[in-house]
Amino acid sequence: MVYQKRVSILRTLFNLVAIVIQLQLNYLIHIFNAITGRTKSIIRAGDITQIAKVSDYLIREHVVTTKDSYLLVVHKLEKRDSVYNGHGKIAYFHHGLCTNSELFVLGSEKNKNLPYLLADLGWEVWLGNNRGNKYSRKHLKLSVSDPEFWDFSLDEFAYYDIPDTILYILSFYTHEDKVTYLGFSQGCSQLFASLSLKPTLNNQINYFVGLSPAVIPKNLNHTVFKTICDYSANDNTFLHSIFGYRAILPSVSFWAYLMGPNLYERVINASLILLFNWKSQNISKDQMKIGYPHMFSITSVKTVVHWFQIITAKRFQMFDETCGIGLTSLSTMCKSPQYTVHNAAPFPIAHHLNVPMLLFYGDSDILVDIEETKKLILEHNDRMKSKLEVVACSGYEHMDVLWANDVYEKVFSKQTTSMGALNGEHISQKKLTNFEWNGNDYSP
Which residues form the catalytic set? 185, 365, 398
Partners of 79 in beta bridges: 57
Report whether 398 contacts 365 (CB < 8 A): yes
Q: Say whether 373 sits in a helix, a strand or coil.
A: helix
Return the amino acid letter for 87: H
Helix (H) or strand (E) holding 391: strand 388-393
**What b/e string do you get for 139-178 counting C-beta neighbours within 10 Å, with b at 16 or more?**
beeeeeeeeebbebbbbbbbbbbbbbbbebbeeeeeebeb
Could you tell me which of 241, 234, 140, 157 has the C-alpha nearest to residue 191? 157
Q: Would the CA dihedral through 166, 170, 176, 182 be positive or negative?
A: negative
Q: DSSP code of 317?
A: B
Q: DSSP code of 417?
A: H
DSSP 101-161: GGGGG--SSGGG-HHHHHHHTT-EEEE---TTSTT--EESS--TTSGGGG---HHHIIIII
Partners of 208 in beta bridges: 181, 357
Radius of gyration of the chain (CA): 23
DSSP 53-67: HHTTEEEEEEEEE-T
Helix (H) or strand (E) holding 90: strand 90-94
DSSP 199-239: GGGGGGEEEEEEES--SSPPPPSSHHHHHHHHHHHH-TTHH
Q: Angle formed by the axes of helices 37-44 and 285-295, to 10°?
A: 10
Question: CA 48 to CA 377: how far, in whole Å?
Answer: 34
